[in-house]
Amino acid sequence: MHKSSRGFLFFLFFLLERIIRHGPVFTQEPSDSVFPLTAEDNKIFINCKAKGSPAPHYKWKFNRKDLDVDMDYSLVEGNLLINNPQATKHSGVYQCIATNAFGTILSREAKVEFAYLQNFSSKARSPVLVREGQAVVLLCGPPPHFGEIRYSWIFNGRPSIVVGDNRRFVSQRTGNLYIAKVETSDVGNYTCVVRNVMTNTTVYSSPTPVVLRRDAVMGEYEPKIEVQFEKMLHIAKGSSVRLECFALGNPVPSISWKRADGSPFPGKMKINHSNGVLEIPYFRPEDSGLYECVAENSKGRSIAKGRLVFQSKWSQTLYDANMAIESDLHWECKANGKPQPVYRWLKNGQPLVSQVIILTTRITPLSPFYESVYVKNVCILKNYISRLLVELFIYYLINSIVIARCHWLLTFIPTIFIYCCRRTISEDGTLRIANVSKSDAGRYTCVAKNPFGTSSSSGTLVVKEPTKITVPPLSMDATVGESIVLPCEVSKDSTLYPVFKWFFNGKLIDFSRHDHFGMIGSSSGDLMIRNVQLKHSGKYVCMVHTAVDSVSAAADLIVRGPPGAPVGVLVGDVTDRTAQVSWGPGPDNHSPVTLYIVQARTPFSIGWQAVKTVPDSVPGQMTLATAVNLNPWVDYEFRVAAINNVGVGEPSVPSKPVRTKAAGPEVAPANVSGGGGSRGELVIVWEPVPEELQNGEKFGYVVAFRPLGTTTWKQSVLASADASRYIYKNDTFQPLTQFEVKVGVYNEIGEGPFSPVVIVYSADEEPSVAPPRVWARSLSASEIEVFWEPVHQSGSKGWITGYEVCKYQKWMDDAERVRVPESSVIITGLKGSTLYLISVRAHNSAGTGPSSTPISITTKKPPPSQPPGNIEWNLTNSKVFLNWEHVKAMDNESEVTGYKVVYRQNWHRGNSIVETNRTSVELQLPSEEDLLVQIKTLSDGGDGSSSGPIRIPKMSSEASYELIKSGAH
């Protein structure tokens, strides 16, 4: 378009905007927002802007009541400024109202919330006692918060982060740490770390100590899937799905994923975190179906199933209407949804009396001056799933008119005429063209003539097709974690090049600074939002610019997430095994709560555990349940978590601890056994009953026993809850007498059950005879081996369980003793050329028997103290030839019987050994490796001193050469 013509059109549009009087029209409306509230944030804006002639004025509603502008609030044009925002005071629903002489309009309602993250309680967390091989779940229990959070765990203090693998898993839904099978290396302190993504705030819990119990080791058992996804999930098109699955078990289970119909996973799906997480980006109808997570180990398998259902979304687009005077207008406001939507109409912000689906309105005739008539109606459709807000505008608009005046001045007379033809020339020389079309394009010349001469001026009219948004973005709702696309496609003149821009809540999106946002498509401006979060709720505007015009379209996005934490958990009506729990609902985050889970924690539990309730499944509309199957006389804390179609929400703040009422004990001691002790003793031991199963105060044990074959029980009471051992002494019964034994329990309420009867032997009698024959031989200067004939059981009064070997020097009184179960032993750490006395005696649980007659044995002379010297080596090709001087032993040393050559490659741990009775040896040199060599003497007294290490360099090429070098002494 010619520059002067384009300027003319812009000037024309400006005049139209200024002269045509009309009611207010929103150009920017408030949208749902979540603000990351920090100490530096002392002001926030809620946007609202409207155009109109005359200019509109504004007021606001807060929680559906008129808002008084005071110290907390101020207006900047139409925008609402909140000074010193506070989450408790300024969170709520805001609505903007714009008014001028032609009408009033109401914006959509915008929910304003503040992201925050409080600190964890400083209360110390109870230790978690667990056996090796057992599974453990450490519950995070995050503090009150709002906004997207991320979980991680620290082991034994920063910066040691717990990394998920096939044995450990951190759930991003609950924050819990799951260990499928505990190992000794897992013992330590665990700290839960919670980070708010919006505020970038991080808090740390008190450490949870994990302590290993030494009383037993957990045996193998089949997998139990502890982390699983919902049975039914409705997924919107283009969303991202994240399924978690993790199992406890011993051995550690393996996790695999499959589809029930056997079809393979497409390449876009991701399985990570040791197969504990399945991610499906850009959900499509073909991704629907039944998904299975399979956990397997050698003891069995467990399966979790869930169905993913493709969910189409509904919407309706209504367009502006241009109507003739006195004609009838039919507006159709119609939508589909479950449950059935409810319709409501507004005019100038006030409800219409007629609440109908088809609304007919008759427009009165226009004024003689044909001033514009403006009527705004809003159709609001609501159901329990989503909300569609449609605005309809009616203008009586003059058609496009091109006006040119041949007086070197362009102007526009704001009077509308009815012309018989489209092109007219007025007396002052002005050319008017109404309803410009392509055929009007061309070069125009104005000629002015009078008696004194003629003058002319020419200009070119270029007509372009207007730019239109053919596929506008549609208002929709999405689920946290999905990826969605907001379309923006245009039709335009082929000679124009569009530029697409997107605005979020009134701010231009900088795609270089936002990982979640991206533009896709080569010929369109579609906006992709990856991994949608709650903070992405709001108003999105697609704006398209060309060289001659600009158009825009807007859509609202509502993001659904797991429900917020329930509030006000209270406990009442406590019995010995039940407690009534009540709570208040938290925010549902745009998805109704379907179920509640009641969890409990005691000083003895491993974190928080779900408890059985009545009703068994607590529906979303209930806020009361009774916890059952509790243990008597135990302190309980309760909390509640909500579930909706998106997932499991954050748990509530725990209730105050309450103690269940006392009851008689019901659990008998475990692992009753005994035996051993001194002569005349009956030793009885058992595993104490855990404190959480004692059911009341003044807990103790009743020990009952009787000789096998008798009828009368003898009982003894131990008034201590920690007792685990009882000794009965009586010198009249014989060693190894069999007794029937049982152990019972009692508390202040009454007596409990006895353990099953077991057989326990009384103490044994120490052996009465010594080993009949003992002999020994010297192995080296530091070792001797001792042998003896075993004691026959028939010849001794006591039962033989082993032997005690005594070693001492003739002139010394102190003896060293070693116990062995066999009839021989090698004694080490001796001195060379030294005489030792050796005796042996049998032993059992009652003590040791008499010693055998001592025997004497002398160790061999010490090995040579002088290492091999004058070591030389010769390197040829890949062989090494070593030689050294013979070592002569001193008189008090053992004679040299040979040599030991120890060598290894430079960076290898393992040694190779060659023994020889000569003073030379040939070794194979490995390629591309240095060789380290040491040489020591061999003798009857043992290995002698070693030479210093010798490094032999690797061969640098295939060529043969000789290299002779003396080794270090």
Indicate if the pLDDT at residue 419 is higher than 70: no
Dihedral Cα 502, 504, 505, 510, nearest 10 deg: -90
Residue-level pLDDT at 331: 54
3-state secondary structure of 536: helix
Please identify which residue in the block is written with the tokens 């060289």: 547
193, pLDDT greater than 90: yes
* Confidence at residue 312, expressed as pLDDT on a 0 to 100 scale: 61
402-432 per-residue burial string, b: 16 or more CB within 10 A, e: under 16: bbbbbeeeeebeeeeeeeeeeeeeeeeebeb
pLDDT confidence of residue 513: 84
d(CA 63, CA 663): 52
Cα distances from 379 to residues 104, 356, 387, 587, in angstroms, run: 15, 10, 11, 27
Q: Where are the alpha helices (H) located in 512-570, listed in sequence order? A: none
What's the rounded mean pLDDT across residues 811-818? 74
Q: In whole angstroms, give the CA distance from residue 709 to residue 737.
A: 11
Confidence tier at 346 by pLDDT (50, 70, 90)? low
Tell me the mean pLDDT in the region 899-923.
85
Q: Where are the alpha helices (DSSP H) in 899-959?
A: none
* Residue entry with tokens 């219409």: 352
Q: Which residues pair with 258 in a beta bridge?
A: 292
Q: What is the mean pLDDT of residues 45-67?
A: 90
Instruction: Return the closest-CA partner of residue 224 out of 134, 128, 132.
Output: 134
Three-state secondary structure readout of 318-332: CCCECCCCCCEEEEE
Q: How many angstroms separate the CA atoms of 628 and 169, rounded?
A: 30
Of the chain, the end-to-end C-alpha distance in Å amounts to 99
Q: Residue 323 has what pLDDT?
A: 46
SS3 call for 412: coil
What is 806-853 written as a DSSP string?
A: EEEETT----EEEEESSSEEEE-SPPTT-EEEEEEEEEETTEE-PPPP
Closest CA to 898 of 890, 882, 913, 886: 886
Give the closest residue to 653 by CA, choosing from 599, 572, 596: 599
> From residue 753, how far is each of 16, 747, 756, 757 by CA, in Å?
97, 12, 9, 12
Residue 825 to residue 784: CA distance in whole angstroms: 9
Q: Which residues contact 345 (CB under 8 A, 6 or more apart)?
A: 333, 351, 352, 354, 355, 356, 359, 377, 378, 379, 380
Mean pLDDT of 623-645: 94
Q: What is the pLDDT of residues 549-561, one digit of tens each?
A: 889 999 999 999 9
**229 pLDDT higher than 70:** yes
Q: Is the pLDDT of residue 390 over 80?
A: no
149: which strand partners?
196
- The confidence band for 115, taking pLDDT boundaries of 50, 70 and 90, is confident
Q: How far is the C-alpha of 783 from the C-alpha of 99, rounded, in Å?
A: 107
Tens-place pLDDT, residues 829-861: 999 999 999 999 998 888 888 999 999 999 999
For the chain, give the percent of residues with pLDDT over 70.
Answer: 82
Asked if pLDDT for residue 411 goes beyond 60, the answer is no
Span of 192-196, 339-343, 818-822 with lowest mean pLDDT? 339-343
Identify which of 38, 49, 117, 147 has the alpha carbon closest to the alpha carbon of residue 85: 38
Amino acid symbol at 122: S
Do residues 195 and 172 touch, judged by C-beta distance below 8 A? no
In whole numbers, what is the pLDDT of the chain averaged over residues?
Answer: 81
pLDDT value for 93: 94
What's the confidence (pLDDT) of residue 780?
93
- d(CA 657, CA 602) in angstroms, rounded, equals 9
- Contact (CB, 8 A) for 657 and 569: no
CA distance 468 to 342: 32
Mean pLDDT of 686-714: 95
Interstrand relation of 177-179 and 136-138 (parallel, antiparallel or unpaired): antiparallel
Are 331 and 299 contacting, i.e. CB atoms less than 8 angstroms apart? Answer: no
Tell me the sheet residues that pair with 512.
Answer: none
CB contact at 8 A, 905 and 949: no
- What's the DSSP call for residue 287? G
Place of tokens 């005994």: 674
Residue type, 764: D
Q: For 2-29, write each residue's pLDDT tens digit.
A: 544 455 444 454 555 555 677 888 888 8
Residues 6+ apart with CB under 8 A from 360: 328, 329, 330, 331
Lowest mean pLDDT among 248-262, 381-395, 426-440, 573-587: 381-395
CA–CA separation, 914 and 212 (whole Å): 47
Q: Give the separation between CA 87 and CA 38, rounded to whole angstroms.
A: 11
pTM exceeds 0.75, yes or no:
no
User: DSSP code of 692?
Assistant: G
* DSSP 8-class letter at 793: G
Counting every residue, how long is the chain? Answer: 969
Tens-digit pLDDT profile for residues 310-325? 876 444 444 444 444 4
Weakest-pLDDT range from 575-579, 658-662, 874-878, 952-956: 952-956
pLDDT, tens only, 571-616: 999 999 999 999 999 998 888 999 999 999 999 888 899 999 999 8
| Cα gap 281→356, rounded to integer Å | 41
Determine the Cα–Cα distance for residues 668 and 681; give it in Å rounded to an integer.
24
Mean pLDDT of all residues in 48-69: 90
Whole-number pLDDT of residue 756: 97
- Residue 812 has a pLDDT of 56
Does the pLDDT at position 196 exceed 50? yes
Q: What is the CA radius of gyration of the chain?
A: 46
Span 73-95, pLDDT tens digits: 888 888 898 888 888 888 899 99
3-state secondary structure of 704: strand
DSSP, collapsed to helix, strand or coil, labels residue 439 as helix
Instruction: Provide the pLDDT for residue 382.
Output: 36
pLDDT at site 405: 42
Q: Between these two residues, 886 and 433, which has the higher pLDDT value?
A: 886
* DSSP of 380-399: EEE-SS-EEEEEEEEE--PP
pLDDT at 416: 32
* Strand 300-311 relative to strand 254-259, pairing: unpaired
Counts of helices then strands in the chain (DSSP H, E): 2, 84
Position 336 pLDDT exceeds 50: no
Ramachandran angles phi, psi of 632, nearest 5°: -65, 150
Candidates 141, 135, 269, 271; CA nearest to 194 is: 141
What contacts 8, CB < 8 A, 6 or more positions away? 404, 410
**How is residue 407 annotated by DSSP?**
S
| Cα–Cα distance for residue pair 45/37, rounded to 1 Å | 13
How far is 619 from 621, CA to CA, in rounded Å? 6
pLDDT at 813 exceeding the cut of 50: yes
For residue 6, give the 3-state DSSP assignment.
Answer: helix
Query: Residues of 603-618 as b/e, b for ≥16 C-beta within 10 angstroms?
Result: eebbbbeebebeeeeb
My answer on whether omega of the bond before 587 falls inside 30° of 0, hence cis, is no
More confident position, 369 or 223: 223
Please report which helix (H) or strand (E) contains residue 9, including its range.
helix 3-19
- Model confidence at 888, pLDDT cuts 50, 70, 90, reads very high
Mean pLDDT computed over 495-504: 90
Looking at residue 188, the DSSP 8-state letter turns out to be E
Tens-place pLDDT, residues 656-693 = 999 999 999 999 999 999 998 888 899 999 999 999 99
Type of residue found at 687: E
Per the CB < 8 A criterion, the answer to whether 732 and 647 are in contact is no
C-alpha to C-alpha distance for 840 and 773, rounded to whole angstroms: 9
**CA separation (Å) from 924 to 660, 884, 954, 961?**
78, 18, 11, 15
- Give the model's pLDDT for residue 909: 64
| Distance in angstroms (rounded) separating the CA atoms of residues 767 and 756 | 33
Tell me, what's the pLDDT at 23?
82
Query: Which pLDDT belongs to residue 398?
Result: 30
User: Is the separation of the CB atoms in 148 and 480 below 8 Å?
Assistant: yes
Separation CA 458–CA 456 (nearest Å): 7
